Structure 1
Amino acid sequence: MTTSSKPIGQPISRVEGRLKVTGQAKYAGEFNKPGLLYGMVVSSTIAKGRIKSIDTSAALAVPGVLHVFTHENRPSTAWFDRNYKDDDAPAGSPFRPLDGADIIYSGQPIALVVAETFELARHAASLVRVEYKTQEHETDLRARQHKGHEPAPGKGGYQPPPKPRGQADKALSKASVQVDAEYSSPVEHHNPMEPHASTVIYEDDGTLTLYDKTQGVMNSQQYVAKIFKLGENEVRVRSPFVGGAFGSGLRPQYQLFLAVMAARELKRSVRVTLTRQQMFTFGHRPQTIQRVALGAREDGTLESVVHEAFAETSRFEDYCEVVVNWSGQLYACDNVRLEYKVVPLDQYTPVDMRAPGAVLGLYALESAMDELAHELGMCPVALRLKNYAEKDPNTGRPFSSKELKACYSQGAERFGWSKRNATPRSMRDGKHLVGWGMATGSWDAMQQPASARAVLSIDGTLTVSSATSDIGTGTYTAMTQIAADTLGVPLEAVTFKLGDSSLPMSPLEGGSWTVSSVGSAVKQACEKLREQVFKWARKLEKSPLAETELNEVTFAGGRVFFTEDPSRGVSITQAMRHAGVLHLEEVVTSLPNPVQKTYTMSTHSAVFVEVKVDEELGVMKVTRVVSAIAGGRIINPKTARSQIIGGVVWGISMALHEETAVDPNLGRFMNHNLAEYHVPVHADVHDIEVIFVDEEDTIVNPLGAKGLGEIGIVGVAAAVANAIFHATGKRVRDLPITLDKLL
């Protein structure tokens, strides 16, 4: 790429890629300090009850073991006031490790063994003996479904379902064609490659430098400062690289609390790393039971939409997701009733997992739409176009942009949808039944307040920074491109810094809002630099730009020049030398434009899937996927495509593989490892094609870019399920779709 080409829109390889593939990128559990201690968590083996006794003598007798923390001896330095909640906390009382003898879920941390090596700590942890008094637990959502309640407000992103419009139940009963079915999805766990770890470096002056597995260094910093009564200048949190998170790092997890507690008590640096099994002891995608009922005329016009959902939460917090609201927004219908309830169980609070709520609610809705299309004898795409919503039916607001029709048409054309024989079991490939299915996806396009600092040096280098994260989404690269594009300097001249609480404020990296939020701040900070450089460039002696205005010049290739005559220009370094400055710095906070409140801002997708099913064995494989995405301006097609492919793979996994099995007798997740928790491998993933539909949006943010992290997974599970029905004629409504259910 030449230095004069515009970086935004170019398929740039990851700027941090070399560090990762050569092992130079360091993660939370890899930072060291001489004398570092290691903590190992002891987890409860019951789901509910009390600790009668806990014997740590055998563990303490192991040479090299320094301390074993329990509820009986935890230091009073930890503040257990439950009024403070982190930025992603739902309503309720947040869990605090070692708070007391009560056991409220299986796998709860009940002790921390601290030793000179990780191996010693893990061995000593196995020697801790605990005697419990058990109580009857409840971990079965279906058994307690009747005890569901409307969730309390509290979680920042939760939007209660809109009030009913029309008379949905009456319209349903009178509809010519009806579909009324129950759909269910299991508990899922995030399982990022990097386990959760916190390395707390205890400084000589008592301040702490924390390396944490997190999606928000500022959230972790504020959490530690508040819980342990520290000033924010006494706690610095760093997270330069994250090996996957998918929502599991939005809230501070218990290893951070325990590591800080141990470091402050022992006045030593401490690392606490969770085992793969312990990665199943905090948060998960909640199990759901959903009813979707659709009523339509013979021509396919929707007359009624009813969507009811039950999801599990913990006893101590009301975790809630936007599950049913999409059913009132996606299609035009005058009679809609949406209900969402949570059911408290003796499990840890669920946490956000990629596309929380939408991936569950649209699985049910888009499966029901496919069932309705079959009952009507209508093409599934045609049914969706028949009920296409030009405005948001929930609010009446216009969409800031919506190219969903283009997603349908371009996706269908690329897939070859017109060749589909609508009759189930009608398409074959040798001994395999072939099925084609499709579904719609939607996700909110959001912008949060964010800050960025841009420092331009006289040597032409640009350093931009924000306290955001890069959980593998390509944040380093996208921000580098935005900065280089805005100021017109070569990519290699730009360095972007992130993952440090000492940097300018940034929201959590989640919700697909990072490019929208932090990217807008980076753009505006660099625009401020442009304004100052242009002023200096005009003041140069005999400046070729003396009579020009800012809107008449272009910044590119490290120069500022008259757009209509590129020969009339000066270099950025020239302008800075003339001004006699070595560095130019701007710090900007970007805020959402209030006009956004008058629009609904969304990303959209249309997913087309081919499956092949062995007619005798029932073995299923997804052989082809086309995902057409309307995501606004695409900053980097290469990393964007990777985001969508990752989401599609996860959608296939949701449809066919993933399920965390709960033993209701033990109240415990049983397949808590990567051997028995099934996820797709290379042999399960075949052709995936991604189409980015052209979409211009001047309202969503100054960049016109919508997030892509979530939209890739939404709708995929439904498209797979619909394809399996088309192949076999059998409708499986309980995820994942496994051999036993199909046979």
Structure 2
Amino acid sequence: MTPYIGKSINRVDGVAKVTGKAKYAADYFAPDLLYGWVISSGIAKGKITRIHTGEALQLPGVVQVFTHENRPNLACFDIQYKDQDAPPGSPFRPLRDATITFSGQPIALVVAETLELARYASSLIRVDYEEEEHDTALEDNLHRARGPKSGVASLLKSPPPKPRGDFERAFQAAPFRTVGEHHHSVEHHNPIELFASTVVYEKNGKLTIYDKTQGAPNSQLYVAQVFRLPFKDVRVISPYVGGAFGSGLRPQYQLFLAVLAARELKRSVRVSLTRQQMFTFGHRPATVQQVALGATADGTIDAIRHDAIGQTSRFEDYFEIVVNWAGMLYPAPNVKFTYQLVPLDTFTPLDMRAPGGATGVPALEIEVDELAHKLGMDPVELRRKNYTDRDMNQDLPYSSKELHECFRQGAGRFGWANRNPEPRSMRNGHTLIGWGMATGIWEATQGPARAEAVLTVNGKLRVTSATADIGTGTYTIMTQIAADTLGMPIEDVIFRLGDSDMPLAPIEGGSWTAATVGSAVKVACEALGKRLFKLAQKMENSPLARANFEDVVFADAHIRLKSNPDTAVSLRDIVGLNGGRAVSETSTSLPDTLEQRNYARAVHSATFVEVEIDEDFGTVRVTRAVTAVAGGRILNPKTARSQIVGGMVWGISKALEEESVLDHQFGRFMNPNLAEYHVAVNADIPDLDVIFVEENDTIVNPLGVKGLGEIGIVGMPAAVANAVFHATGRRVRDFPITLDKLL
């Protein structure tokens, strides 16, 4: 049987999604379901002096209006609790008291018999405030920057590495230098599915919750902690997610409000947020970065400094890996990296596709391009000159690194050799043409996870793990792994996810799900295979009675002798002799830390971009792009390509369009909608070319895979910016690159 791993299998969940059979958090119904509408604060900082709810409560069908004045006493307001993605600090507690800490903060929940009634009733509620002076401007407060506070969550994100050598001396002595200040605007995730939670209140007080989340167990953990409930009394289900990009890593406030209302009213409640309210929690933080490079005359980078200042909230210290990437890419002996935060009157930022990498790598790669220009070197050759097989931050060799091949194949496909290096030298009439490139890097990690594999009495393989599929193709690749491991037709394999009752898995994010959950699926199926083999040996007149497990192979839904494939036992026959019961195994996959700790692990890429710019109006259009990726073993080229293309699209969007604009007078985002928060649309995107460079890695994890969710975006913004420089001769270091910055 031909292996499924490595084949372009169509998404196994595709039919359910395109036919509408796939149900999302707000699609589930329950008898006597109530609807909640969130009221958001009209100020950025201060106190509520009074909430006038009387007129709304007089409406027939309005059940209750929950505020800080009448909410039930909850343990969560007094205890310290965390979710799997919480940064150091004290998590936001909705309706805790009268204090307002950010604009748009949820201050009340109207619960009614219909959604329309709840929405109308909310318009009748008036709120009196005692307003205080707020501050939401990062760039006005750089003098207040400080280092992140320590905390357990910080262990999941590496701090900047210690300095090496003497940066100041080496930089001042370098004959070729570049220094640049980079400004990145706030961005919001904007998945198509809005956040919603449908809480079904059972007669025994137990809760079944349909939640939009990137980890059902994480939402279960949150609810159990906050409401002091036994885990067995809380079940969270999330089989489909309509996009998230990191916004679903932490439980959002609609989950808290829906559970609070359901428990207090002892009825099922749904709370959905609006598009505008999606701008009131979590975002990619604004950053200000300084990057300085010093090089010798032959292009050897001798000194690197990367400093970054990011925003966070007043109540949590959210931080990212922004400045570490240079030490992972370039072997300069004299380096210094710093990362600081400025607490502001906003909500806590949130991980967003390639958090830290999508801001830090572009700043670095723009300055590398500027250095190449000053040296008169080809940008690819400069990167080759400063190539390293070691992560200098950890002083460890990479488990694999085929970046040289990414450069070679990407440049060849793009036609880079035909580039005239002189800025403004390529044009078509009034249209300036620019070619730019950049390197990309992202960590390749693996965490612990559990999975269950069950061979049913009808010979079907059912595999489960409480992970999520946020559109990445998790359903499909896990099905492929399971089918190959037990040698079964893919149509006889069912993979299920998104239920806290399933074997534990971590939140889906950070490009680690394929490695983490995929390894768990593999070991669970292997354990099931060993058990089935033992049962087969006990069958009457078994042809496998004297065989060892190493002597057999699983193929075509049979266990076959390697030496004589015609000697076989059907898997269906084996389970049929198990007393009418399915055969199951649950296994845990753990990273092989003893071996892995001796290596650095990362996925690498090279991105090449062509832009056309109208010389008179400064409008920028990306016309071609190629990304070559060294991502280990590719499980499914079709879904893998989709991941890279999605990242490339977002990279173009980040470079040219995306910006959440804060009105600092009110501390509020002025464009909280998809009409004014600009994202790339079909007309903005050309055909995008993806190359998967062959890369064999036996160390990174049992499957040899590396995550692809983030690597597609990290190099693209810099490649676009570098192409803009090549076309115009103007170096833009502020994203997004809008036409006013080019005129």
Name the TM-score class by shorter chain. Answer: over 0.9
Equivalent position of 2:620 in the other structure = 620
Give the secondary structure class of the aligned counterpart of 1:725.
helix
Could you say which residue in structure 2 is the equivalent of 1:729? 729
- What root-mean-square deviation, in Å, do the aligned CA atoms of Structure 1 and Structure 2 show? 1.2
Question: Which residue identity is paired with 2:742?
Answer: L
The structural deviation recorded for 1:531 is 1.2
**Given residue 599 of structure 1, which amino acid in structure 2 is its aligned partner?**
Y
Map of 1:436 onto structure 2: 435
Q: Does the alignment pair 1:86 with 2:83? A: yes
Note the alpha carbon deviations across 1:661-693, whole angstroms, 9 max, x for none: 001111111100000000011000101011111
> What does 1:14-29 align with in structure 2 at a 5 Å threshold?
14-29=11-26
CA shift for structure 1 position 556: 1.5
Number of the residue aligned with 1:124: 121
AA in 2 matched with 1:706: K
1:356 aligns with 355
CA deviation profile, 1:47-103 (whole Å, cap 9, x unmatched): 111112111112112221111111111111463124111111111111100111111
**What is the Cα deviation at residue 535 of structure 1?**
2.6
Deviation string for 1:260-290 (max 9, x for gaps)? Answer: 0000111110000000000000000000000
Contact 1:91–1:318, Cα closer than 8 Å, also in 2: yes
- Does the CA-based 8 Å contact 2:316-2:348 persist in structure 1? yes
- Cα distance, 1:533 vs. partner? 2.1
Quickly say closer, same or farther: Cα 1:78–1:22, change in 2 above 3 A. Answer: farther
Aligned residue runs from structure 1 range 439-450, under 5 A: 439-450=438-449
Q: Quote the residue 1:694 is aligned against.
A: 694
- Larger mean Cα displacement after TM superposition, 402-411 or 147-156: 147-156
Q: Mean Cα displacement is larger for which, 577-586 or 459-468? A: 577-586
Q: Displacement of 1:378 after TM fit?
A: 0.4
- The two structures have a TM-score, normalised by structure 2, of 0.98
Q: CA deviation at 1:539?
A: 4.3
Distance in 2 between the 1:304 and 1:363 partners? 18
SS at the partner of 2:77?
coil
CA distance in 1, matches of 2:563, 2:670: 68
Once the two structures are superposed, the pairs formed by residues 365-384 of structure 1 within 5 Å of their partners are: 365-384=364-383
Residue identity in the other structure for 1:160: P
Report if aligned partners of 1:77, 1:261 keep a CA contact under 8 Å in 2: no
Q: Map 1:586-665; keep pairs closer than 5 Å.
A: 586-594=585-593, 595-665=595-665
1:229 maps to 228
Q: Distance in 1 between matches of 2:516 and 2:46?
A: 45
Structure 1 residue identity aligned to 2:454: V
Do 2:74 and 2:226's aligned partners in 1 also have CA atoms closer than 8 Å? no
Mapped contact 1:81–1:227 kept (Cα < 8 A): no
What letter matches 2:612 in structure 1? K
- Provide Cα deviations, 1:595-651, integer angstroms capped at 9, x if missing partner: 212211101111111111111221111111111111111111111110110000000
Unaligned runs of 5+ in 1: none
CA shift, 1:206, in A, is 0.7
Aligned residue in 2 for 1:671 = 671
Q: Distance in 2 between matches of 1:453 and 1:478?
A: 16
- Tell me the alpha carbon deviations over residues 535-582 of structure 1, each in whole angstroms, 9 at most, x when there is no partner: 333444554444443233221111122234322222212333456563
CA contact (8 A) 1:82 1:94 kept: no
Identity %: 61
Do the aligned partners of residues 234 and 540 (structure 1) sit closer, same or farther apart at CA in structure 2, a change above 3 Å counting? closer
In the TM superposition, what are the counterparts of 1:311-710 in structure 2 within 5 Å? 311-578=310-577, 580=579, 582-594=581-593, 595-710=595-710
| Conserved? CA contact 1:331–1:389, under 8 Å | yes
Give the counterpart letter for 2:386 in structure 1: N
Q: Secondary structure at the match of 1:686?
A: coil
- Residue by residue over 1:300-358, the C-alpha shift from the partner in whole angstroms, topping out at 9 and shown as x without a partner, is 00110000000000000000000001111111110000000010000000000000011
Distance 1:547 1:345, change over 3 A: same
CA distance in 1, matches of 2:664, 2:531: 66
Alignment CA distance shift 1:430-1:566 (3 Å): farther
Counterpart AA for 1:36: L
Task: Find the aligned partners of 1:728 and 1:171 in 2 and give their Cα distance.
Answer: 32
Whole-angstrom distance in 2 between the partners of 1:5 and 1:28: 38
1:534 offset after TM fit, Å?
2.2
Question: Are 1:152 and 2:149 an aligned pair?
Answer: yes
Count of aligned positions? 740
Higher alpha-carbon deviation: 249-258 or 154-163: 154-163
State the Cα distance separating 1:390 from its structure 2 match: 1.4
The reply on whether 1:113 has 2:110 as its aligned counterpart is yes
Contact 1:7 1:482 in 2 (8 A): yes
Determine the C-alpha separation between the residues in 2 that align with 1:306 and 1:541: 72
Write the distance in 1 (CA, Å) between the matches of 2:34 and 2:12. Answer: 34
Partner SS for 1:471 = coil
> Would the aligned equivalents of 2:644 and 2:690 in 1 still touch at CA under 8 Å?
yes
Tell me what 1:179 maps to: 178
Is this contact kept in 1: 2:455–2:575, CA < 8 A? no
CA distance in 2, matches of 1:249, 1:115: 26
Following TM superposition, by how much is the alpha carbon of 1:528 offset from its aligned partner in structure 2, in angstroms? 0.8
Q: State how far apart, in whole Å, the 2-side matches of 1:72 and 1:577 are.
A: 62
Secondary structure, counterpart of 1:588 in structure 2: strand
1:199-222 CA-to-partner distances (Å, cap 9, x unmatched) read 000011111000001011111101
Asked if structure 1 preserves the Cα contact closer than 8 Å seen for 2:459 and 2:575, the reply is no
For the 8 Å contact 1:606–1:629, the answer to whether it is kept is yes
Q: Relative to structure 2, which stretch is displaced further, 710-719 or 454-463?
A: 454-463
Secondary structure of the 2:209 match is: strand
Structure 2 alignment gaps of length 5 or more: none
In 2, Cα distance between equivalents of 1:428 and 1:564 = 65
Letter in structure 1 aligned against 2:230: G
Between the aligned partners of 2:660 and 2:577, the Cα distance in structure 1 is 65
1:13 corresponds to? 10
Give secondary structure in 1 for the equivalent of 2:680.
coil
In the TM superposition, what is the alpha-carbon distance from 1:176 to its structure 2 partner? 0.5
Q: What is the distance in 2 between the residues matched to 1:502 and 1:579? A: 25
C-alpha distance in 2 between matches for 1:414 and 1:567: 46
Paired with 2:116 and 2:238, the residues of 1 have a C-alpha distance of: 25
Aligned with 1:241: secondary structure?
coil
Contact 2:42 2:104 in 1 (8 A): yes
Secondary structure of the 1:598 match is: coil
Structure 2 Cα separation of the partners of residues 542 and 206 of structure 1: 54
SS in structure 2 opposite 1:142? coil
8 Å CA contact 1:328–1:338 kept in 2: the answer is: no
CA distance in 2, matches of 1:535, 1:51: 68
TM-score, L = length of structure 1? 0.98
Task: Give the Cα–Cα distance (whole angstroms) in 1 for the partners of residues 710 and 294 of structure 2.
Answer: 30
Q: Partners of 2:529 and 2:207 in 1: how far apart?
A: 38
Residue equivalent to 1:206: 205
Cα distance in 1, alignment partners of residues 497 and 430 from structure 2: 53
Name the SS of the counterpart of 2:605 in structure 1.
strand
CA distance in structure 2 between the aligned counterparts of 1:537 and 1:236, rounded to whole angstroms? 37
Q: Distance in 2 between matches of 1:56 and 1:389?
A: 65
Partners of 1:462 and 1:304 in 2: how far apart? 56
- Matches of 1:429 and 1:454 in 2, distance apart? 60
SS of match in other structure, 1:677: coil
Kept in 2: contact 1:244–1:471 (CA 8 A): yes
Measure how far apart 1:389 and its partner are. 1.2
